Amino acid sequence: MPDSLVVRGGRVLDGTGERTADVLVEDGVVTAVGAGLSGTRTLDAAGCVVTPGLVDLHTHLREPGHEEAETIETGARAASLGGFTAVVAMPNTDPALDDPAVVAAVLAAGAKSVCDVHVAGCITKARAGVELAPMGELHELGVRLFTDDGACVESAAVMRRALEYAGSLPGAVVAQHAEDPQLCAGGHMHEGEWSSRLGIPGRPAVAESSIVARDCLLAELTGTPVHFLHVSTAAAVATIADAKRRGLPVTAEAAPHHFTLTDADCATFDPLFKVHPPLRSATDVDAIRRGLADGTIDAIATDHAPHAAETKEKPFEEAPPGMLGLETALGLTLTELVEPGRLPLADAIALLSSRPAAIAGLADHGGPIAPGRPAHLCVIDPAATWTVDPARLASRARNTPYGGRTLTGRARHTVLAGEPVVVDGEAQR
């Protein structure tokens, strides 16, 4: 008898409904969902929710170039511990992912890891916003998401050409880091009450919403899908909602820190709270939560941004932006959105799996959990309470702003193509 795996006794929740069932996995593929199944290995899921493996549209793995902060191996392990079975690696590496050889190397390294690593390619060469990257060659390697993330495509003309060109590549989505660099020049946190108190130069909300508005118009002009990365302001959510009502091909993601933290958290001047786009006002946080609940925002994406410890020991205005996210995203979603009743659990799972999988064109991911489907699974214990301990994170970096925070809900088991890569919260390799 070949190896087989049964995930026993959980509530299966995959967008097609909810039922208590065992899931039988053979040869990396789901072969049966039902009662009384058995296999050579069993993962207990009693009291747990069995969902499709989570999908992160927005992960910085730092390799190549900044392996002191993260590697594909450590980042993938952090992802699997967070319940993710697929991540899309952002291209702001060194060198940037604007070259087929570099992209191929990352994909090859990712294939050996405990998570399905996909790659977002650059829109422009070296993310400089001037010349188009070889989008067609990258598309041949399977790249579907294109972005200069970390940098905004500032020129409306370049953005228009990128959208026109990407329109010829099936499934291609152009993802924008919507922050006008001129309006943000010299800024390090949200411009508002707290930047005023702290004397830290601000990045105004209009820097985001103005680019979002412009790119909605360019999506309308070109017909090419635009995805807005880490949307953080009420005005951007309103603009995206309006564009969707008008039937424009736009999607959006929000990061857990943008529905959890506010600009007031910067009051200690600790660069752990520095991120781009910045932590916003409480009003913006409310708008993000509502946008997630009403479907305006399509996905929760981590913007997992590891940084070596010494870089976060610089002054706030000199430290690099970004915070870890992979190992806390699920817990924050359940704690901040599901538990207080802001979002049904099924919707939260969709925001973390099926909907981002659809945006990134990852047909194997995001469910449903049904015979014949690849066995990428996440078993969530929604009642598990745990305290974030930066020292115990699998990521190579430690820059989480959530140290000491108690969360409810975490990934208990993660199954990648039939392989239990996380069992009872422990990485298996």
Partner 1 sequence: MRHLLSVDDLGRDGLEELLDLGESFLEVTRRDIPKVPALRGKTVVSLFYEDSTRTRLSFETAAKRLSADTMAFSVSGSSVAKGESLRDTVQTIEAMGVDAIVVRHRSAGVPHRVTTWVDAAVVNAGDGRHEHPTQALLDALTLRRHRGTGLDGARIAIIGDIRHSRVARSTTKAFAALGADVTLVAPPTMLPEAEAGWPATIGGDLDDLLPTLDVVYLLRIQHERQDAALLPSLREYTMRYGLTRERAARLKPDTLIMHPGPMNRGVEIAAEVAEGPASVITEQVANGVAVRMAVLYQLLGSGATVA
Residues that bind partner 1 (CB under 8 A): 191-202, 204, 268-270, 310, 313-318
Q: What is the chain's Cα-based Rg?
A: 20
CB of 188 to partner 1, least distance (A): 9
Among residues 206 and 346, whose Cβ is nearest to partner 1? Answer: 206
Among residues 8 and 190, whose Cβ is nearest to partner 1? Answer: 190
CB of 207 to partner 1, least distance (A): 13
Q: Which residues contact 53 (CB under 8 A, 6 or more apart)?
A: 83, 84, 85, 86, 353, 365, 376, 377, 378, 414, 415, 416
Instruction: List phi, psi (to 5°) of 162.
Output: -60, -40
CB of 183 to partner 1, least distance (A): 12
Q: How many CA atoms lie within 13 A of 135 on its CB side?
A: 25
Among residues 36 and 186, whose Cβ is nearest to partner 1? Answer: 186
Q: How many CA atoms lie within 13 A of 54 on its CB side?
A: 37
CB of 195 to partner 1, least distance (A): 7
Q: Residue 413 and residue 48: Cα distance in Å, rounded?
A: 10
3-state secondary structure 31-99: EEEECCCCCCEEEECCCCEEEECEEEEEECCCCCCCCCCCCHHHHHHHHHHCCEEEEEECCCCCCCCCC
Among residues 273 and 402, whose Cβ is nearest to partner 1? Answer: 273
Instruction: List phi, psi (to 5°) of 5.
Output: -130, 135
Tell me if 410 sits within 8 A of 386, measured CB to CB: yes
| Short-list 348, 343, 380, 329, CA closest to 11 | 380
Among residues 195 and 395, whose Cβ is nearest to partner 1? Answer: 195
* b/e burial code for range 246-275 (CB count within 10 A of at least 16 → b): eebbbbbbbbbbbbbbbbbbbeeeebbbbb
CB of 266 to partner 1, least distance (A): 9
Q: Residue 36 and residue 28: Cα distance in Å, rounded?
A: 20
CB of 154 to partner 1, least distance (A): 17
Q: Residue 362 and residue 365: Cα distance in Å, rounded?
A: 6
Among residues 154 and 419, whose Cβ is nearest to partner 1? Answer: 154
Tell me if residue 303 is catalytic: yes
Both tokens of residue 399? Answer: 């820059």
CB of 291 to partner 1, least distance (A): 24
Q: How many CA atoms lie within 13 A of 292 on its CB side?
A: 37
Among residues 191 and 215, whose Cβ is nearest to partner 1? Answer: 191
Cross-strand pairs, 18: 13
Among residues 53 and 192, whose Cβ is nearest to partner 1? Answer: 192
3-state secondary structure 357-376: HHHHCCCCCCCCCCCCCECC
In the set 22, 303, 347, 381, the catalytic residue is: 303
Q: Residue 336 and residue 289: Cα distance in Å, rounded?
A: 9
End-to-end CA distance of the chain: 25
Count of positions (residues) in the chain: 429
CB of 289 to partner 1, least distance (A): 23
Catalytic sites, residue numbers? 303
